Structure 1
Amino acid sequence: MKFHYEFDIKSPAKKIQHQHHMMLIGSCFTENMGEKLQKHKFQVTENPHGILFNPVSVAEAITDYIEQTLFTETDLFCYNECWHSWKHHSRFSGITANEALQKINTSVQDAHVALKKADHIMITLGSAWVYMLSEKAANFKKGKVAANNHKAPADWFTKKLLTTEEVLRVLDNLIHRLFHFNPGIQIIFTISPVRHLREGVIENNKSKAVLIQAVHHLVEKFENLYYFPAYELVIDDLRDYRFYAEDLVHPNFHATQYVWEKFVNACMPDETKSLLKEIATINLAVQHKAFNPSTTQHQAFLKTYREKTLQMQMLYPFIMWEKELSYFSENIR
């Protein structure tokens, strides 16, 4: 008896390996995947503007990295005793304008370098709803889309659902810019399975439909584009509220882990999958906490894994092993 519907997932033309550099940008689901990639020692740059949901803000952020945009105080606004950017997540805000600008501009410069050498960029789109600044908003610019509302008053914004044509126009232009900047990059699109219920159930589905239609049109149009079905895996494969957190909006650990395993199987070659298993054993060894660290048995355990990690360092010098080697060495007595 089958309790859920599984489907085959097409693999990308260029599979992901540890030698590759990756940039991840988009919704909070991006950070779920980024955490797992980093845990398994991939070279990842994650959300240099912070979490972004709509395609306009994603495109503007990537354009900032390409152009090495330098932000100034005129790009910021002060609200609730902090300085903010409408283009950035609140983690880039600061008590002073200089504090915010230092975080923002450092991140943009680092992202420029990372994007130039990236082999893959994963873009996760969350919503086609955009919030544009109203005339009451601080630092109002007509038609400006806010990437983050920074808990500002509701009347500072007007809400709009982008059409498929508008999303296509924004992303088509972005793709041309990306390929001109980094001709070898592979673009991986995903649609976030996080449900934006604050807009309403029907409105959320309309939004996801716009994004799905636009992305599939682009994948069919361009080479070096790939669609990974994270949304479909949660909505159509798992298809059960037991795979959501208590808010019934965000996929829980089990759902995220399921999507991760499907991603690994579809997007990574066999040698990388084997390497992931070796990394997982070393990660477990680092997490192991002995009741009696001085025992002969635990000291032998630490020495065994230090040697194992040294061998991995020799075999895979492009992977950073310093943290693990430091842990094993410092605890050997």
Structure 2
Amino acid sequence: MPRTDRRVLCGRRPMAAAFSLLELIVAMSVLSLITLTLYGVYNQVAQTWGEMDNEIAVYQNANLLLEFLERDLSAAVVDPEVGFYVVDRWNNDPMLRNITFGGKADLRLGADQLYFASGNVPIEPVQQLGGSPMMEVGYELWGTTTVTNQPYRMSLVRLTTVKNGAVHYNIFDDEPGKEWWIGEKTSIYPDVFPNDASNFGFDQWEPWADLVCGFNVVCYDEEGRAYEEWPPNNESRERWPAPTMVEITVTMTTPRTWNELQELENENVRRELLLNSLRSFTTRLYLPVEGE
């Protein structure tokens, strides 16, 4: 039988096919590119999801806050003959008040203070202490909202007292370890407000909404005229009927923004970050008509 002739090419036996170094480099580059792309997509989705969570939280908080304010205003008593006597904070003169609001110092339309008489009151405690079966409800915005002068978390705080049924809404500086600051010092409104609220004449306080950076009130009469203040100082009340509608705008920011602000030192960057994060929410409510 003839013998098979096995030849050796170039002195070597045939070898199995293998990847070259260039092919390995190209494969690793493609794999790295795919990995980076997937990571970028995942990171972008995570950031978008986090931003959506912050936005949803702000909208939910704002809706709850406006619903609560609307509920308070729905019990307002807008009648010049109905109300309660309060002491004016500036000249200490008693005055009958049913609804009042003051304009802003910069003369822009709208007010950052609103008080009104309310029929929604725990009557028994008020009467036991000799008070009127009415409740005073107030909303106030205290302090500045600039980043430089107010770099800390802000809260809308609900204050109550059963002595005269007063409820005030104020926005306070919420720096940990610092006393509550509420504005200029007078005999009725001291400049510091301890956490127990006893020195301010209130029996209890409770934070209602965090991260509130603005509060604006505009009142309208039945013809749609906007009032800058009520009651008017130099005009007869006959010429200016009581407001029939209240427009409230609340401006809020996100928790993430405030956390980022604490890590930034440049005031211009901080201010721009805060302004870009602000969200405003507006509601209108018709007040009960006199005689209803």
Report the structure number with the largest CA radius of gyration: 2
Compare relative contact order (CA 8 Å, sep 6+) and give the higher one, 1 or 2. Answer: 1
| Larger strand proportion of the pair | 2
TM-score interval (norm. to shorter):
under 0.3
TM-score, with normalisation over the residues of structure 2? 0.25
TM-score, with normalisation over the residues of structure 1? 0.22
